Amino acid sequence: MTSILLELQKDALDPNIALSDLLRKARLIAHKLKTQDFEEWIKKELEGYSVGDQIPEYRKIGCQIKENQPYHDWQPINPEGDEPYRILSPVQVDVLFPIFQIEKMPDDSIEVEIPFPRLTISLPQKEIKANVQIGRFVPKIALDTIVDIIRTNLLEWTIKLEDQGIVGEGLTFTEKETIKAKEIPQINIKNFNGILGDITNSPVVQTQTISVQKKNFESLKNYLKEIGIENDDIDELQTAIKTDPVPDTSEHFGEKVGSWIGRMIGKASTGAWQITVNTASGLLTQMLLKYYGF
């Protein structure tokens, strides 16, 4: 009979299998092995986190605050410099959604709005015009990163168990395997973040004052160099911009530009580009939106 642990290990390598399905299978394994901390983490990922919970670092994402006035699209605001928005700082959001909700978000979106808690938004809303909306926006690729990190975390867990001879048979594990599983140091879930880190104190954030001008690739090139992107990657982006049709909305980039952003996020995730994943996704999205004039 096939081991459920080895099934999970195989499924974790299949991008066509939803992460929520992997987590349900992993929860069953964790429950049978009586690894309570790991099972509790899985439950939170399946059901979502609540305000006041200890949120894993990989679910803390840099965001951009925008206002939507009548007859205007969403426009960025600076909560640290603009009154009465200072109460909305810092510009970071804890993503509380359950995994299935993150997985269901449209693949072709560049940004996703995450609503403010009702109490947080009440004061600024009183001090500005009632018909002005305020929202938090995070790069869609940063949410995709959450999914990828959790999938990798599950795979690492199964490898750890297998290395210690904890495989089971079918849906069952021996008492010896259960005891041994408790002795294995668990992956540090609360701080598991790859190289995400603290975006607030990242030196790269300080480069956001560099001006990227509409349809001026030289200004874009200078920005990219300043944040540590190599010349070959910059040349690839220039080719992608020339190849793709000009986007007519801030909701979607072209296929080539979108793929380029994905490669840069990949470099950040491996440490090849010394910047946190979520900072990278936010910066690249924002500067390209500026370049296109949004």
Instruction: Quote the pLDDT of residue 138.
Output: 85
Interacting residues of 209 by C-beta distance below 8 A, sequence separation 6+: none
- Residues 6 or more apart whose CB falls under 8 angstroms from that of 91 comprise 62, 63, 64, 65, 79, 80
Q: Under a CB-based contact definition with an 8 Å cutoff, are residues 52 and 42 in contact?
A: no
Q: Are residues 33 and 166 in contact, defined by beta-carbon separation less than 8 angstroms?
A: yes
Q: Establish how many alpha carbons lie within 13 A of residue 269's alpha carbon, considering only the half-sphere containing its beta carbon.
A: 17
Question: What phi and psi values does residue 68 have, to the nearest 5 degrees?
Answer: -125, 105
The torsion region of residue 288 among left (phi > 0), alpha (psi -120 to 50) and beta comes to: alpha
- The whole-angstrom separation of Cα 141 and Cα 283 is 12
Determine contact, residues 149/194, Cβ cutoff 8 Å.
yes
Task: Identify the pLDDT of residue 240.
Answer: 92
What does pTM read for this prediction? 0.63
Interatomic CA distance for residues 3 and 9, integer angstroms: 10
C-beta atoms surrounding 222 within 10 Å: 14
pLDDT in tens, the chain (294 residues): 789 999 999 999 998 999 999 999 999 999 999 999 899 999 999 999 988 888 888 888 877 778 776 667 777 776 555 555 554 545 678 899 999 999 998 877 788 888 776 544 444 454 555 556 777 888 888 888 889 889 988 998 999 999 999 999 999 999 999 999 888 765 555 444 433 333 333 333 333 444 688 899 999 998 888 778 889 999 999 999 999 998 877 667 788 888 788 777 767 655 666 565 556 666 787 788 888 887
Which residues of the chain form beta strands (DSSP E)?
A: 60-62, 64-68, 75-76, 92-94, 111-114, 133-139
Report the pLDDT value the prediction gives residue 218, as an integer from 0 to 100.
Answer: 92
